[in-house]
């Protein structure tokens, strides 16, 4: 299970290896985890940690897009490296078939209500599936009528 200690250990290893980029990313991640624990007044659960890492990955992707549009390729490359480091701490992506299966189960319970289906699907896959990915799959299933 991932927790602050897990990331602290990874930070120590990066410090010993003198991997400055990894050290920087892990320090930022540990700070974000610590701030979230303070906000919630309790230790984070693993799915909350994964969700926070996904948010950080998404921030990096947005920065990459902006830097590329602005012609700052060296900064885009740095953000891409940071994104890769963060993504290495996420669990393997859930297979599309499993998500579609849970969408169909949710659809049986609540009908064709997009919002309710999304609520059930995201509750089941919180921290393991990005909302955008789930939303596109829900739309695809609803469009097919399958």
Whether the Cβ atoms of residue 128 and residue 47 lie closer than 8 Å to each other: yes
- Mention every residue, 6+ apart, whose C-beta is less than 8 A from residue 23: 11, 14, 15
pLDDT at residue number 43: 94
pLDDT at residue number 75: 97
pLDDT at residue number 1: 67
- Mention every residue, 6+ apart, whose C-beta is less than 8 A from residue 142: 107, 112, 114, 117
Name the stretches of the chain with pLDDT < 50: none
Domain coordinates of the chain in residue numbers? 4-87, 96-144
pLDDT at residue number 2: 81
Q: Quick one: CATH architecture of 4-87?
A: Orthogonal Bundle (1.10)
Q: What is the dihedral of CA 17, 20, 24, 30, to 10 degrees?
A: 10
């Amino acid at each position: 299970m991932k927790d602050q200690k897990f990331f602290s250990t990874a930070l120590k290893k990066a410090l010993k290896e003198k991997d400055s980029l990894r050290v920087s990313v892990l320090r930022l991640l540990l700070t974000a985890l610590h701030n979230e624990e303070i906000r919630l007044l309790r230790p984070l659960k693993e799915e909350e940690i994964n969700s926070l890492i996904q948010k950080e990955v998404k921030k990096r992707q947005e920065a990459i897009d902006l830097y590329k549009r602005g012609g700052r390729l060296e900064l885009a490359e740095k953000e891409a490296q940071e994104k890769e480091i963060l993504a290495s701490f996420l669990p393997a992506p859930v297979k599309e078939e499993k998500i579609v299966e849970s969408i169909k189960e949710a659809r049986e319970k609540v009908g064709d209500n997009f919002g309710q289906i999304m609520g059930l699907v995201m509750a089941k896959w919180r921290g393991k599936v990005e909302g955008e990915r789930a939303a596109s799959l829900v739309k695809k299933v609803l469009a097919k009528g399958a």
